[in-house]
């Protein structure tokens, strides 16, 4: 359960890595966006500065015309001969008209056609007077507009005040040289280049040097969002150039490749983490399989030794009790009931070990029906009652719907009371178990210092080995006249009966001993047997002669010699040797000769 919780916690790791990756990707994309935005704004600011200078240069072409007229006026001492010819030479495609206004009154306009009404007194004009007086008094070039032109379109007036030098060295106001420029024609090349370069723009201007009101001079027509603004002063007016990329501030920043690449990296890292966890999980499973008994779920001997060594290294073995146990007559259980039932007994005992000895114990199945236990931090006195209760606990197996009891024997020892090395505990416990076996099984016993620490020898024979090689036919059946059920028959008896195997033998006999006796002799033979049993109570019965019924329908004279024994599992049972009379007679005939 604990390892499962740890495994479940580890499964959260890929989710955390995925979420962390998403957050990191979002941070990277945001940083990329901000970096791109900062770069775009820096480039746009540089372009706004550049194009603002170009716009100033465009407007300076209009100012230059007024400067040229001023030079002529000054050179001619206040006169301009052939104005129409001079203005015609100065005329260009972005100029609506060229004018002169001696004493502030417009007298000449080029071209005259369509501009007759423009000959007005600028100084005293209601809409133009204030700014003209301001330019005159400050001796600065002023701009006014934009305003609608009568000829169509929009324009801006550039007025250059001209002063003549008097004989006394003072300056006297002569008038204005004036150019009306058309917008946005004056900026046509600049704004066309700006839009072709991928920018939207809006150029604004204060209507005059005496007002903070602004009007749009020229614009691309699209709404600008968070534009770069560059302001500059020109001819007393404040211009503002707002610029932003036509494709928006994300221009040049493509999120899709970065997003796809980032997601691929996240999925790759998440996948690698999952693979690492799966490999680690499989490694843990394989490691657990390598040290775990697959049938009972307990440690195998390798796992037991590793766990014990770890406990020793950690210094937890101040006191501990080691126990060694096995199932009494386990081979008989397997032979009588089959290995499935035997496995059930093993698993039942293993579960009892888990339930009784708790988590502070090392539990092991050594192999077969042998089990080992190390109780950590426990003394023999503290463990005695638990071990005795565990040993004597009733245990059952089920076969053909009937419950049959099975028992265990257990030996135990304490460290450091019984040995100087924890690793010797199981050997001490094994000697104690051997003593239990010698004294009748189904019990538990502590280790005694009288035992010699040595490997316990075993007979090395099993029922199957003995019965298979016994020189004679042998069977076991229940000593009950109402239920003479056959429990076992060795190979020689099965072959003597003419059967293939034990199952065939049981089918043939109906699992009844009496069915091996000639039908005419059954009652007399059974009566003879039970008379002997009643007379002697237990032990050997005399030889009983009868005709043995074979599967092929023939009969062979045999001698039956048996012993009645009390079994913990079945009560009284017969152990019987069946001897072929013909074989015995031939032997004795040969011996007599």
Write out the E strands in 312-382.
320-327, 361-367, 370-376
Q: What pLDDT score was predicted for residue 485?
A: 87
Residues 470, 528 share a domain: yes
Each residue's pLDDT tens digit in the chain (593 positions)?
555 555 566 678 888 888 998 999 899 888 888 888 898 999 999 999 999 999 999 999 999 999 999 999 999 888 888 899 999 999 999 999 999 999 999 999 999 876 655 678 999 999 899 999 999 999 999 999 899 988 889 999 999 999 998 888 899 999 999 999 998 899 889 989 999 989 999 999 998 888 889 999 999 988 999 999 999 999 989 999 999 999 888 877 777 888 888 899 999 988 888 888 888 888 877 777 788 999 999 999 898 988 888 887 877 667 899 999 999 989 888 888 899 999 999 999 999 999 999 778 999 999 899 999 999 988 999 999 999 999 999 999 999 989 999 999 999 999 988 888 877 888 899 988 988 886 668 899 999 876 654 444 444 444 555 555 666 788 888 888 888 888 888 888 999 999 998 888 989 999 999 999 999 999 888 888 877 777 655 445 667 889 999 999 999 999 888 888 886 556 788 888 898 888 777 765 544 44
| Residue 237 within a domain | yes
Among all chains, which residue has been given the structure tokens 């417009």? 106
Specify whether 206 is located in the same domain as 71: yes
* Domain boundary residue, one of 290, 315, 341: 290
Q: Are residues 49 and 194 in the same domain?
A: yes
448: left (phi over 0), alpha (psi -120 to 50) or beta: beta
Place of tokens 């502590």: 446
User: Has residue 455 been placed in a domain?
Assistant: no
What Å distances lie between residue 381 and 317, 384, 411, 419, CA to CA? Answer: 16, 5, 14, 16
Contact 266, 16 (CB under 8 A): no
The parent domain of residue 23 ranges over 2-34+254-290
What angle, 0 to 180 degrees and rounded to 10, lies between the N-to-C axes of helices 255-291 and 301-314? 100
Three-state DSSP state, 555? strand
| Structure tokens that stand for 477 in this block | 């059946």
Considering Cα of 417, then 421, then 426, then 431, what sign does the dihedral take?
negative
What local confidence, expressed as pLDDT, does residue 53 receive?
Answer: 94
457 belongs to a structural domain: no
Kindly report the length of the chain.
Answer: 593
The C-alpha atoms of residue 593 and residue 590 are separated, in whole angstroms, by 5
233 forms bridges with which residues in the sheet?
A: 238
Q: What is the DSSP string of 67-99?
A: HHHHHHHHHTTS--TTHHHHHHHH--TTEEEEE
| Residue 442 and residue 477 share a domain | no
Q: What is the pLDDT of residue 453?
A: 45
419 and 550 inside one domain: no
Q: Are residues 482 and 538 in the same domain?
A: yes
Report the distance separating Cα 430 and Cα 373, nearest Å. 11
Q: How far apart are CA 450 and CA 431, in angstroms?
A: 10
Q: Do 403 and 551 reside in the same domain of the chain?
A: no
Q: What is the DSSP string of 316-329?
A: --SSEEEEEEEETT
Token pair 């009101």 is found at: 213
* In a domain? residue 452: no
Q: Clarify whether residues 45 and 25 are in a common domain.
A: no
Pairwise CA distance, residues 453 & 512, whole Å: 48
The whole-number pLDDT of residue 572 equals: 82
Two tokens at 259? 């997003």
Q: Could you tell me the CATH number of the domain that includes residue 416?
A: 3.30.70.270
Residues 249 and 259 in one domain: no
Q: How far apart are CA 552 and CA 498, in angstroms?
A: 7
Q: With respect to residue 458, please indicate whether it lies within any of the assigned structural domains.
A: no
Q: Sheet of 95-102: strands edge to edge?
A: 108-110, 95-102, 171-183, 154-165, 142-148
CA distance 238 to 58: 16
Asked if 222 and 248 count as a contact pair (C-beta separation under 8 A), the reply is no
Residue 89 belongs to a domain with what CATH number? Answer: 3.30.450.20
| Count of CB atoms situated within 10 Å of the CB of 410 | 24
The pLDDT of residue 68 is: 94
| Alpha carbon 501 to its chain's center | 56
In 10 A of CB 450, how many CB atoms?
7
Number of domain units in the chain: 4
Does residue 46 share a domain with residue 23? no
Domain assignment present for residue 453? The answer is no
Is residue 451 assigned to a domain?
A: no
């Amino acid at each position: 359960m604990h390892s499962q919780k740890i495994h479940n916690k580890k499964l959260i790791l890929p989710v955390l890595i995925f979420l962390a990756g998403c957050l990191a990707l979002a941070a990277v994309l945001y940083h990329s966006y901000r970096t791109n935005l900062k770069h775009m704004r820096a480039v746009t600011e540089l372009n706004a500065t550049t194009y603002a200078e170009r716009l100033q240069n465009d407007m300076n072409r209009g100012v230059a015309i007024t400067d040229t007229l001023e030079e002529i006026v000054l050179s001619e001492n206040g006169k301009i001969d052939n104005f129409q010819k001079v203005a015609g030479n100065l005329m260009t495609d972005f100029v609506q008209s060229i004018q002169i206004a001696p004493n502030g009154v417009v007298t000449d306009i080029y071209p005259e056609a369509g501009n007759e009404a423009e000959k007005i007194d600028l100084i005293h004009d209601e809409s133009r007077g204030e700014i003209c007086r301001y330019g005159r008094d400050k001796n600065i070039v002023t701009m006014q507009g934009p305003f609608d032109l009568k000829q169509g379109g929009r324009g801006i007036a550039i007025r250059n005040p001209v002063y003549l030098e008097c004989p006394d060295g003072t300056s006297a106001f002569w008038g204005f040289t004036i150019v009306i420029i058309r917008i946005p024609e004056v900026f046509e090349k600049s704004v066309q280049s700006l839009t072709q370069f991928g920018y939207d723009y809006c150029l604004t201007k204060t209507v005059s040097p005496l007002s903070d009101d602004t009007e749009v001079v020229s614009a691309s027509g699209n709404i600008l969002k968070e534009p770069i603004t560059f302001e500059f002063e020109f001819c007393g007016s404040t211009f503002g150039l707002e610029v932003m990329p036509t494709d928006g501030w994300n221009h040049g920043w493509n999120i899709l490749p970065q997003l796809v690449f980032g997601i691929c990296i996240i999925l790759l890292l998440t996948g690698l983490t999952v693979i690492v966890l799966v490999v680690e999980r499989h490694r843990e499973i394989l490691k657990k399989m390598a040290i775990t008994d697959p049938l009972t779920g307990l440690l195998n001997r390798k796992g037991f030794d590793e766990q014990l060594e770890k406990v020793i290294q950690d210094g937890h073995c101040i006191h501990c009790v080691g126990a060694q146990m096995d199932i009494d007559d386990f081979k008989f259980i397997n032979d009588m009931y089959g290995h499935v039932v035997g496995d059930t007994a093993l698993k039942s005992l293993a579960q009892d070990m888990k339930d009784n000895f708790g988590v502070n114990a090392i539990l092991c199945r050594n192999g077969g029906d042998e089990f080992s236990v190390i109780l950590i931090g426990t003394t023999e006195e503290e463990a005695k009652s638990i071990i005795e209760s565990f040993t004597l606990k009733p245990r059952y197996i089920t076969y053909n719907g009937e419950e049959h009891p099975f028992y265990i024997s257990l030996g135990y020892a304490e460290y450091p009371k019984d040995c100087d090395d924890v690793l010797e505990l199981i050997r001490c416990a094994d000697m104690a178990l051997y003593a239990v076996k010698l004294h009748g099984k189904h019990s538990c016993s502590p280790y005694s210092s009288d035992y010699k620490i040595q490997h316990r020898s075993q007979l090395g024979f099993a029922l199957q080995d003995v019965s298979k090689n016994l020189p004679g036919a042998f069977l076991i059946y229940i000593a009950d006249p109402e239920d003479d059920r056959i429990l076992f028959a060795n190979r020689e008896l099965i072959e003597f009966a003419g059967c293939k195997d034990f199952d065939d033998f049981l089918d043939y006999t109906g699992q009844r001993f009496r069915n091996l006796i000639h039908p005419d002799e059954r009652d007399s033979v059974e009566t003879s047997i039970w008379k002997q049993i009643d007379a002697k109570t237990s032990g050997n019965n005399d030889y009983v002669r009868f005709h043995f019924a074979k599967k092929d329908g023939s009969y062979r004279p045999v001698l039956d010699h048996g012993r009645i024994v009390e079994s913990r599992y079945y009560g009284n049972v017969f152990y019987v040797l069946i001897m072929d009379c013909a074989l015995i007679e031939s032997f004795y005939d040969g011996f007599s000769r």
